[in-house]
Each structure stands twice: as C-alpha cells, then as structure tokens.
Structure 1
C-alpha cells in the first residue's frame, strides 16, 4: 500500500503530503535534527524511526505521506503530541465540519424531534420509526436503572 488516501484527487493528496512534510521538517529541526540533504539528520531519523532514508527524505520533501503507524513513530521520536501532529500538519481538521452528524444540538432539553431536526431527518416514516426506537431505548434504560441503580455509574 502506497499512501493513505487523504483527498480525492492526486493534487489534493500531494498538497497534504507537502503540508505534512513541511510540518515534520520544522518539527525535526526544532528537535535538533539537521535535515538538510546529506547533513546526517535524515539518516538519524531513519534509524530512530525504523524506516529507510528514502522514506524519510520523501516524507520531509512532501512527496509521500507516512503511514499511520509511521506517524506514531514520528510523533514519538520528535516528542510531539500525536493529536497536535495530526492537527498542525493538516491531516485532520481543527474544527468539525458543519455537515458532521455529531454537531451540537442547540436546545435546552433534547427531544427526539429536535434531534431529528438537527440531523435533517425529514422523511415522515423514518422520523416515526426513529422516535419509536428512541422511546423504547429510553424506557429500557429506565427499567435497567430501576432494577440496578449502580448500572449507570458503571456504564
């Protein structure tokens, strides 16, 4: 497997690889590695990461993306927070997209109707089915809580 798919087009994937390469180059330099060509820092990184010098060079030069397991190694070797590496390199967005189904619902009390509205579920049959399922789930939870008061604390 070559690169993980980050983008729909070759150009988008290349742009991501360049952002990641620039971020990792900056982080490696800040960590004390001289990553200029033939300066020795790339070879040191390759040894510490357990990958080839070519892999390190192609990553730092923005030609290829590291595999997810390699990102973990990069973060460990460069003493970076994994989440921060993903955010600052542009591999994951800093804010959830507005289309995200997990966005917050702006209501004081969450009702099935409010949730379905927030999720943009408009089909009457689906709304009826979902409302019934939510009602059943709430009732089952109440029965469980009534029979075992410690269940919610453990869950």
Structure 2
C-alpha cells in the first residue's frame, strides 16, 4: 500500500484524485473479471488472496484511499486478466503517451538478392560473402523442398 505522503512532484489533492481513479478502474476491472467486490460480498477477500495482499489493502485500493505498490501492479494485471501497460494508462497511473503501442505493421519489402542483403548488412570481405551467399542459396533451396513436401502431403491428405 502506498501512502498519501507529500511528494515534491504532485499535490495531495492530485494523489487523492489519482487514487480515486485507480480505485474506480480496478473496481470495474475486478467486477469484469468475476469478483463481486461490493463490501461483504466475498469478492474482496478472494481478490486479496489471489493478489497476495490483505483484505484491508484491497478495500482501501478499491475505495480510492490508496494506490497499489508498484511491485503489486503486475499481479493485479495478471489476476484481473489485463495488459499491465493498458491498466496503467487506463487507470491514469501513466500518461497516454506511455500507453499501449500499436502493433508493429509488417511492411511489404522488396525481395533482396543475397548480394543486396550483404551490401545492406555491410559485409565486404570476399570470403565471408562467398560463404554467406552459399548458405543463403542452400537455405532457399531447402525451404523450397520443404514447401513442396508440405504441398504434396496436403494434396495426399485432402
């Protein structure tokens, strides 16, 4: 449990507002995960056991009176089935610019010859280029053989 001690970076009111936002967010997330976290409903005790903290800590966190310790955030996310980064941003603990990154898009690239690839990698030694080129050509041929075997197997099974 993190107390509301004074910090040079934020006011007491800002910390209390953050604790309330985090409490609301975690209450909604716990409810969505199947925990009945209303007082005396039993879900808070189950959540406390799952997270490995006291019932008092769970209650104070969900009621917006305190923030979870940084060391507990991974467990909160795991128990509630949340992505930790999304949880931190959506609860207000991290600013949006630190939020989930969009999935990396695969960019269709031009097929390179082994020589072009070696040039791009900065491989200039003739011996290394000869060896690498031979390995690349051999790997391409092996892949073609495997792909052909797979398509023949699929035709035979189909």
Q: Identify the TM-score tier after normalising by the shorter chain.
A: 0.5 to 0.7
Which residue in 2 is equivalent to 1:2? 2
Q: How does 1:101-140 map to 2 (within 5 A)?
A: none
* Cα distance in 2 for residues equivalent to 1:6 and 1:75: 28
Q: Give 1:95 deviation, angstroms.
A: 2.5
Aligned to 2:65: 63
Aligned counterparts of 1:3 and 1:82: Cα–Cα separation in 2: 22
Q: CA deviation at 1:42?
A: 0.1
Deviations, residues 42-84 of structure 1 (Å, cap 9, x unaligned): 0000001110000000000000000011111100100100010
Contact 1:20 1:90 in 2 (8 A): yes
Q: How does 1:36-115 map to 2 (within 5 A)?
A: 36-95=38-97
Query: Per-residue displacement from partner, 1:87-112 (whole Å, max 9, x unpaired)?
Result: 1000111136xxxxxxxxxxxxxxxx
Q: Could you say what secondary structure the match of 1:95 adopts? A: helix
Distance 1:82 1:6, change over 3 A: farther
1:137 match: none
Q: Looking at CA atoms only, which structure, 1 or 2, has the larger radius of gyration?
A: 2
Are the aligned partners of 1:25 and 1:35 in contact in 2 as well (CA < 8 Å)? yes
Provide the C-alpha distance between the structure 1 equivalents of 2:8 and 2:51, rounded to a whole number of angstroms: 22
- Cα distance between partner residues in 2 of 1:69 and 1:29: 22
Whether the aligned pair in 1 keeps the contact of 2:2 and 2:68 (CA below 8 Å) is no
State the partner residue of 1:153.
Answer: none
Contact persistence 1:7–1:13 (CA under 8 A):
no
TM-score, length-normalised on structure 2?
A: 0.58
User: What's the TM-score once normalised by structure 1's chain length?
Assistant: 0.59
Aligned counterpart, 1:141: none
